Amino acid sequence: MALILNEEQQMLRDSAKSFITESSPVSSLRERRDRGEEWSPELWQGMAEMGWAGMVIPEAYGGLEFGYVGAGLVMEECGRVLASSPLLSSSFVSASLIASLGSDEQKETLLPAIASGASIVSLAVNETDRFDPTVTALTAQQDGDEFVLNGTKRHVLDGKIANTFIVAAKTAGNADETRLFVVADDAPGITVEASRNADTRLVTSMQFDGVRVAAENLLGDAGATWPALERALDIGAVLSAAELSGLAQEAFERTLEYLKERKQFGVPVGSFQALQHRAAQLFCELELCKSAILKAGQAIDEDLPERSRLASMAKAKTAKTAKLAVNEAVQMFCGIGMTDEFDIGFFMKRAAAACQEFGDYYYHADRFARLGGY
């Protein structure tokens, strides 16, 4: 499939850019940070009214069923303004799991609420310092018509604002028996502890002490759990890469404007060939990232066999390039790039956190190699 956007996707990108630029400029991030706020419920409501919360959800459940290429375009524009929302964790990753594994009753209950923005669902899968979804020590012991959950989850995105969690737990001594449970945030025995990242966003650790979950809250059959979870994590990786791509492009464009304005020895510093070479290299890297993300999004929409490898390629490439982009930005802004007065530092802080979400460069570079037979 050609690496170009169709007319509908281009219209989506333009409308997303217009809405998010007006509704959530970078200056609003500074204001929320100074007030100690993690996110804006008003912005989230606006996203829901735009249809973003239901973008990939089937039409039968109140969604738009637009596809993950479109979701990537929205995440790219969100990355440009550093917008904070549960769009990725709830509407894209968690919704994909429910759509893939949920019973008719679960879909009818959960998906319309996600699509309207009324419900925020978060995936609790990671248990280690570094992203590794294959490590599951949290146990689910069956007790009659219920399961009893015991264990810990770490780095749960949007866990502080979610009202529902999808929790990965092991029901037997085999990794293939990892199951997913739908758990309400107010279930007795859950302890949520939030910590603030450098980018001002909150991530949570969750302790499950004898949390009882009805068997009807099991999500999908045992044999289908891991393939669906792997697909959802691929979606998370690709859309996280899309956000990083938007962030990196915005940092690059702001840096170019500064190079044209700042003068040294009576001329704009952008006229210096050494800086032009660095800018040209970064431009090429950013274009490669956009192509990788678009191809990975197409692979998800078309369910191509190379989906996972393309997802890891997109995240690894974009994570590395985003770090280069923000480092170059701070350097080329010189001393003022390190001050809080200028917004460019916010891009570096968000890149540091976003690069870790759904797997960092090292995780995905290794996975890309393994999936290729190395």
CATH number at residue 178: 2.40.110.10
**Can you give the CATH number for the domain in which 306 is found?**
1.20.140.10
Quick one: which of 61, 64, 68, 37 has its CA closest to 49? 64
In the chain, the N- to C-terminal Cα span, in Å, equals 27
Domain boundary among 222, 239, 263: 222
How far is it, in rounded angstroms, from Cα 72 to Cα 241? 8
**Domain identity same for 111 and 144:** no
* The two structure tokens encoding residue 372: 């290729």
Alpha-helical regions (H) of 303-355: 307-332, 344-354
* Residue environment code for 191-216, b if the CB has 16+ CB neighbours within 10 A, otherwise e: eeeeeebebbbbbbbbebeebebeee
How far is it, in rounded angstroms, from Cα 89 to Cα 265? 49
What's the pTM value of the predicted model, to 2 decimals? 0.95
Structural domain contains residue 188: yes
**Domain identity same for 128 and 231:** no
Domain boundary among 67, 87, 119: 119
3-state helix, strand, coil in the chain (%, to 5): 60, 15, 25
Task: Give just the sign of the alpha carbon dihedral 124, 125, 130, 135.
Answer: positive
Are 52 and 63 contacting, i.e. CB atoms less than 8 angstroms apart? no
Give how far the C-alpha of residue 186 lies from the chain's centroid of Cα atoms, to the nearest Å: 25
Distances (CA, A) of 269 to 7, 141, 205, 250, 332: 39, 65, 46, 20, 9
Distances (CA, A) of 348 to 7, 92, 319: 33, 25, 12
Q: What is the pLDDT of residues 201-238, one digit of tens each?
A: 888 999 999 999 999 999 998 889 999 999 999 999 99
How far is it, in rounded angstroms, from Cα 57 to Cα 251? 32
**Domain identity same for 112 and 140:** no
**Domain identity same for 215 and 96:** no
**Domain identity same for 253 and 315:** yes
**Domain identity same for 236 and 353:** yes
**Domain identity same for 232 and 324:** yes
Structural domain contains residue 2: no
Are 196 and 353 contacting, i.e. CB atoms less than 8 angstroms apart? no
pLDDT at residue 194 in the model:
92
Domain boundary among 222, 248, 280: 222
Q: What is the pLDDT along the chain (374 residues), one digit of tens a residue?
A: 667 888 999 999 999 999 999 999 999 999 988 888 878 999 999 999 999 999 999 999 999 999 999 999 999 999 999 999 999 999 999 999 999 999 999 999 999 999 999 999 999 999 998 999 999 999 999 999 999 999 999 999 999 999 999 999 998 655 458 999 999 999 999 999 999 888 888 889 999 999 999 999 999 988 899 999 999 999 999 999 999 999 999 999 999 999 998 888 888 888 899 999 999 999 999 999 999 999 999 999 999 999 999 999 999 999 999 999 999 999 998 777 778 888 999 999 999 999 999 999 999 999 999 999 98
Structural domain contains residue 47: yes
**Domain identity same for 297 and 355:** yes
Q: In which element (H, E) is residue 260 found? A: helix 222-261
What are the φ and ψ backbone dihedral angles of 214, each rounded to 5 degrees? Answer: -65, 145
Give how far the C-alpha of residue 152 lies from the chain's centroid of Cα atoms, to the nearest Å: 21
pLDDT at residue 334 in the model:
79
Structural domain contains residue 292: yes
**Domain identity same for 57 and 193:** no
Structural domain contains residue 1: no
Are 181 and 166 contacting, i.e. CB atoms less than 8 angstroms apart? yes
- Total of domains in the chain: 3
- Residues in the chain, total: 374
pLDDT at residue 174 in the model:
52
Task: Give just the sign of the alpha carbon dihedral 299, 305, 307, 313.
Answer: negative
**Domain identity same for 72 and 202:** no
What are the φ and ψ backbone dihedral angles of 143, each rounded to 5 degrees? Answer: -140, 90
Contacts of 351 (CB under 8 A, 6+ apart): 244, 247, 248, 251, 322, 323, 325, 326
**Domain identity same for 270 and 362:** yes
**Domain identity same for 367 and 240:** yes
**Can you give the CATH number for the domain in which 73 is found?**
1.10.540.10
In terms of residue numbers, what domain contains 136?
122-222
